Amino acid sequence: MKDRLLQWLVCPSCRGDLSLEAAAREAGEIWDGELSCARCSARYAVTRGIPRLLPGALSATALATAERFGYEWTRFAEIRHEYEAQFLGWIAPLGRDIFVGRRVLDAGCGKGRHLRLASRFGAQEVIGIDLGPAVEMAAQNTADLANVHVVQADLTRPPIRPGSMELIYSIGVLHHLQEPVSGFRALAPLLSPEGLLVAWVYAREGNGWVLTLVDPIRRLTRRLPLAVVSGLAWVLTLPLWAAVRTLYGPARSWPRLCAVLPYQSYLADLATFPFRELHSIAFDQLLAPVTHFLARGDVERCFVEASLALWSLRWHHDNSWAACGVRRDRQY
């Protein structure tokens, strides 16, 4: 943990200021210590360089979600160059330049793959928060980046100073909350007056076969041991891998074939990934305790209820929503 991170952190319980106590340092950074709230006297540990700003009580669903996705990211921890194009697709029409010089929050940073990109795109500071053990991998994957900070926290009660973030993005996370709108409501107050909130979530539109075939399986596998789910996902990845390599990849050069292949826009983009990444994607679909598929109207309502003006809403790959909003009192 870097000392300057303290200026953007607050107590997740009462929003009070935090002070550092009993710090042990390594290589000029805080490796172990304790943060104390000046308002409510709550105390939070800093261990292995990560502030652990967890609220006093978490729901069983939130804990299970954090544990299961943490298991995934600690076993599929590598960072791939293909992630850049994927990330830019999820945040379009925004691009690399939107990060330059901005203070950025990654709400649900997982293993840290997007933290590295935000840093490389020119962000001034990048803060990643995640609820579970994934923060360990995020910290390891960004240890060489001076402008990246990792915090263990609940994004529905974020320990971030209100009005302090100039760009917030949440990729593939909000639809796994018990109530997705709670994430929008929690993140919106953190925006600076000219800040932007970017969210990528699963769409109900275009996902009929997933809702019919995959989601019922997930409702069973979400209760199974994770090693079993991973093994099942590996088996399911075999036909997916074969289809992506023999049909969807080559189809990118054959417009007529593209026109008849289901899910072509999405699966063709996976053709450059190795088998292990497709295994991770299949595993990701089967492990979540909660998954929502949001209709367009649901996304619009989330922004309205979070007092945000929806600036851009795009149906991405015919199966997801890429949305961007601004504070309602200032149009971007």
Q: The CATH number of the domain where 119 resides is what? A: 3.40.50.150
Q: Which two tokens stand for residue 5?
A: 């991170």
CB count in 10 Å sphere of residue 223: 10
My answer on whether 193 and 121 are in the same domain is yes
My answer on whether 298 and 158 are in the same domain is yes
Alpha helices in the chain (DSSP H): 60-75, 83-91, 113-120, 134-141, 180-187, 208-209, 215-221, 226-243, 249-251, 255-260, 264-267, 275-287, 296-305
- Give, in degrees to the nearest 5, the angle at Cα 251 between 247 and 257: 95
Decide: 324 and 312 in contact? Cβ < 8 Å.
yes
Say what the pLDDT of residue 247 is.
87
Residue with tokens 């593939």, as numbered in its chain: 172
Number of domains the chain contains? 3
d(CA 314, CA 326): 15
My answer on whether 228 and 218 are in the same domain is no
CB count in 10 Å sphere of residue 100: 10
My answer on whether 260 and 174 are in the same domain is no
My answer on whether 176 and 203 are in the same domain is yes
Cα distances (angstroms) measured from residue 250 to each of 22, 95, 98, 236, 319:
59, 27, 33, 21, 21
pLDDT tens digits for range 210-233: 999 999 999 999 999 999 999 999
My answer on whether 66 and 141 are in the same domain is yes
My answer on whether 321 and 194 are in the same domain is yes
My answer on whether 79 and 204 are in the same domain is yes
Cα distances (angstroms) measured from residue 56 to each of 10, 11, 59, 131, 249:
14, 11, 10, 13, 48
My answer on whether 171 and 282 are in the same domain is no
Structure-model confidence comparison of residues 158 and 269, the more confident one:
158
Domain that holds residue 12: 1-53
My answer on whether 89 and 172 are in the same domain is yes
Asked if pLDDT for residue 169 goes beyond 70, the answer is yes
My answer on whether 78 and 178 are in the same domain is yes
Say what the pLDDT of residue 261 is.
81
My answer on whether 247 and 297 are in the same domain is no
pLDDT tens digits for range 289-298: 999 999 999 9
Asked if pLDDT for residue 245 goes beyond 70, the answer is yes
d(CA 203, CA 320): 4
